[in-house]
Amino acid sequence: MKKFLFLALFFLCAAQALQAQTMYQLLKYPKMTIKGVWELSEHDNNVVQLNYYNNDRCPYLLYVIDNKKFYTVFPGKNTVYSKKRSAPDDPFSKNTYYFYRGKFPKNLNPAFVYAMPVAEGTEVEWMIDPRERMRSYFFKVNYADTVYAARSGMVCSSDFENGLLVYHRDDTFGAYLNLSQRFVDAGSIVKVGEPIGLAHMGGVSFSVFFLDENLFHADKPKSYPYSQITPYFRTDKGDVKLEKGVKYSAVKDDPLIMQEMSKSEQKRYLKNRKK
């Protein structure tokens, strides 16, 4: 009977609902992270500019409903609109705009290989995080085991203490949840394989996602416009998408560590490694 019942289940707004509270909290940005101010142009007193100041180290997307345009708000000052002081209303006057973390990726590489966020050489069990779902990988490690960066990136601002949000070079995010302690603060650059915190009870959850342009519609703002990636991990069984019921050991070899390094960084890394 249950089988038939399940057949008919229909989940309303599941994309939003299935996002558990922790991810939702991690994505919330602290107050005053983004500030919009109308200012006189430095070059022309007859021109006013709408400047957005992004106090985070990661970009945000400003979506203006009235003119159906997207603006990327990079860290620092961003002039998104200018007009003559005497000019009539502008698309920003109605306050129908939204901010989202991130920007649309231009060179997304779904085949990018990540390090497992656990110690090298230890075999770990994993499962889809029952609280987070949506392709969040929960690695079963002990309480206070060290958690390592799965990919290099910039730590973003967040008030959520039990997690870390890391912005990657290709405009994806790495979310580390269920941390008991964080070793790095917002604005820090983390390198793949670097210790970033300690696991909480049960283990640590990791997922990769990006702001997805395909989920936006002209006049419909989304509460969760992100898509998750099924990452490849470097393991003792090769570069794989994790298979259910299989245990894996993390492998963090030089090619993985050097994946996103410039040539000079690679040289330096190898030189230091020999020492």
Partner 1 sequence: MRKLLLALLCCAVFPAISWSQVKIKYTGDPLPSKAMGKIESMMGHMWDYYSSMGLKEAMEVELKVFKSKKEGYRYMRSLYPDDPNYIEQPHDKTMGGGLAAVYIPKKKLAVLLGIEHGTDEALTIIYHELSHHYTRMLFKGATYPPIWLNEGLAEHFECLKLKRSGVVSEFPHANKGKVKTLIMLGDLNLEKFLNFTQKEFMEMQRNEGQTCYSLAHVTVTVLLENLSVEQRNTLISQLQKRPVNSKVSDIVASIYPGGLPALEKEILEFVSR
x/- mask, partner 1, residues 131-150, rule CB under 8 A, reads --xxx---------------
Q: Does 220 bind partner 1 (CB under 8 A)?
A: yes
Q: How far is the CB of 218 from partner 1 (least distance, A)?
A: 8
Q: How far is the CB of 29 from partner 1 (least distance, A)?
A: 18
- Given candidates 126, 138, 148, 216, which one binds partner 1 under the rule CB under 8 A? 216
Q: Does 215 bind partner 1 (CB under 8 A)?
A: yes
Residues 1-60 that bind partner 1 (CB under 8 A): 1-21, 24
For the chain, give the longest Cα–Cα distance: 73
CA-only gyration radius of the chain, Å: 21
Three-state DSSP state, 219: coil
Which helix (H) or strand (E) segment holds residue 210: the answer is strand 204-211
**Within 13 Å of residue 74, how many CA atoms lie on the same side as its CB?**
3
Tell me, by CB under 8 A, how many residues bind partner 1.
41
Q: How far is the CB of 99 from partner 1 (least distance, A)?
A: 18
Q: Does 113 bind partner 1 (CB under 8 A)?
A: no
CB 99 within 8 A of CB 80: no
Cα–Cα distance between 72 and 211 in angstroms, integer? 12
Cα–Cα distance between 5 and 2 in angstroms, integer? 5
Binding site for partner 1 (CB under 8 A): 1-21, 24, 108, 110-111, 128, 133-135, 212, 214-217, 220, 222-223, 227-230
